[in-house]
Amino acid sequence: MRSDSVYAELYGALARASKVFFRVLHFSVQTDHVHIMVEADDKLALTRGTQGLAIRCARAVNRASHRRGRVWAHRYHAHALRTPREVRLGFVYVLLNFRKHLRAAPAVDPRSSGPWFEGWVRPVPTPPGPCPVVPAATWLATAGWRRAGGAVDCREAPAASVPRRPARSPPPPLP
């Protein structure tokens, strides 16, 4: 998906995916999947926006690959970001994930919306042309995340995996 032709199609699909009720905030295209950070006005907007985004991206991959059929083995994995710390870690995870997948040196991923991210410690050059993502509308994604560690340094590395709370054990059977 990081090839020039597939990335160009995906970039266009991601840039056109935002609506009034569903906003693509940032993304990164990996070799076989895409990381996307979105906002939605409510559950229905998230569901419809995500469905439309998945279809739009699948068509883009098929168009660039001159193929037909299913693109995604699984629809998507969603995780609601509820705290400033989670949102900051989300930005690091999405924008710097190529460091984990490709074992790349610290830099801004050229196959991401990273050049348009305004939260870097040091400003990075912005490519010519329109921005492919839209500004955040929520406090968490506009200002709140900065309270959890400040600006993001491209030398940071995303966590290997998202820590999960252990599942509750079922109660013991009654005698």
Query: Which pTM was predicted?
Result: 0.83
pLDDT, tens digit, for every residue of 105-121?
788 998 999 999 999 99
- Is the C-alpha dihedral spanning 25, 98, 88, 155 positive or negative? negative
What digits encode the pLDDT tens for the residues 8-38? 989 999 999 999 999 999 999 988 888 999 9
pLDDT tier for residue 170 given thresholds of 50, 70 and 90:
low
Rg from Cα positions in the chain: 17
What are the structural domain ranges in the chain?
Answer: 4-148
Neighbouring residues of 19: CB distance < 8 A, sequence distance ≥ 6: 49, 52
Partners of 38 in beta bridges: 24
* Torsion angle of the four alpha carbons 140, 142, 143, 148, in this order, in degrees rounded to the nearest 10: 60
Q: Using the Cα atoms of residue 136, residue 137, residue 140 and residue 145 in order, give the sign of their dihedral.
A: positive
In angstroms, the CA 94 to CA 44 distance is 24
Looking at residue 159, what is its pLDDT?
A: 73
